[in-house]
Chain A
Amino acid sequence: AQKVTQAQTEISVVEKEDVTLDCVYETRDTTYYLFWYKQPPSGELVFLIRRNSFDEQNEISGRYSWNFQKSTSSFNFTITASQVVDSAVYFCALKLLILTGGGNKLTFGTGTQLKVEL
């Protein structure tokens, strides 16, 4: 069975600080997708990134960057120069590439509440 662990329940930072959200996953499968979603106070889920297990290249998108390391089963998310609007709950998720059985569901971590203060 798959498992996603986000050990940081809550993080508070001051605006303009950099912050890294940790995500560790467990799966016996070798092919899978990893995701990050943002859930702002309004409650909807906002897709941030998808990464497949074949691609360990790190990615940068504006102030956001992701560090995928298969050796440590981690997919960490860094926000550079954080802003108050970044305050939200961030979820990491895993989806297997297999098409049978449980291959189509997303397995979510419990989320990290990020609070960015002025």
Chain B
Amino acid sequence: NAGVMQNPRHLVRRRGQEARLRCSPMKGHSHVYWYRQLPEEGLKFMVYLQKENIIDESGMPKERFSAEFPKEGPSILRIQQVVRGDSAAYFCASSPRRDSGEQYFGPGTRLTVT
């Protein structure tokens, strides 16, 4: 029973390029959460999605960031025109139900913007 998968594990982008981060939830989980961890900081919530729906995007920056969780395939966090300040670890978590207490985390994607 595979856990939450994230790829790539490491991603290097030049300023102005696009970054696409993928998250495959655990089998049977239809709820996905994205968190960002800036260097030397704790994790901050970005967005919560259920299949084909964005439920809560209160933590998403208003520009350049978007997320989707299509009916088929992984959830995608997309960052357009990356800047140095986007360099961080991006973690995805999944849960089987909306009222599930626990969120299962993936290994994270470390984005470096040069």
Q: How many residues of A contact B (CB 8 A)?
A: 24
Q: Taking the complex as formed, is A33 at the interface, i.e. its CB lies under 8 A from any CB of chain B? A: yes
Nearest A residue to B50 via CB reads: A104
Asked if residues A106 and B108 are in contact (CB atoms below 8 Å), the reply is no
A interface, over-half SS: mixed
Per-position binary interface string of chain B over residues 21-37, scored 1 when its CB falls under 8 Å from any chain A CB and 0 otherwise: 00000000001010100
Cα distance A35–B43 when bound, in Å? 13
Residues of A near B45 (CB, < 8 A) are: 105-107
Residues of A near B42 (CB, < 8 A) are: 91, 108-111
Q: How many residues of B contact A (CB 8 A)?
A: 26
Complex partner residue of A104 from B43, B48, B108, CB under 8 angstroms: B48
8 pairs, A vs B, C-beta closer than 8 Å: A33-B101, A37-B105, A43-B110, A45-B91, A45-B105, A47-B102, A104-B31, A109-B42
CB of A97, distance to nearest CB on chain B (Å): 7
Cα distance A107–B48 when bound, in Å? 13
Q: Taking the complex as formed, is B58 at the interface, i.e. its CB lies under 8 A from any CB of chain A? A: yes
Asked if residues B102 and A50 are in contact (CB atoms below 8 Å), the reply is yes
Cα distance A44–B107 when bound, in Å? 5
Q: A44-B105, A47-B105 in contact; A102/B58 too (CB < 8 A)? A: yes
Asked if residues A106 and B43 are in contact (CB atoms below 8 Å), the reply is yes
Residues of B near A33 (CB, < 8 A) are: 101-102
Cα distance A99–B101 when bound, in Å? 11
Asked if residues A97 and B99 are in contact (CB atoms below 8 Å), the reply is yes
Residues of A near B64 (CB, < 8 A) are: none
Residues of B near A47 (CB, < 8 A) are: 102, 104-105
The 10 closest A-B pairs by CB, nearest first: A105-B45, A108-B42, A45-B105, A110-B42, A108-B43, A44-B107, A33-B101, A111-B42, A104-B48, A99-B98
Q: Taking the complex as formed, is B56 at the interface, i.e. its CB lies under 8 A from any CB of chain A? A: yes
Q: Taking the complex as formed, is A76 at the interface, i.e. its CB lies under 8 A from any CB of chain B? A: no
CB of A75, distance to nearest CB on chain B (Å): 14
Nearest A residue to B93 via CB reads: A106
Asked if residues A95 and B89 are in contact (CB atoms below 8 Å), the reply is no
Residues of B near A45 (CB, < 8 A) are: 43, 91, 105, 108
Cα distance A113–B91 when bound, in Å? 19
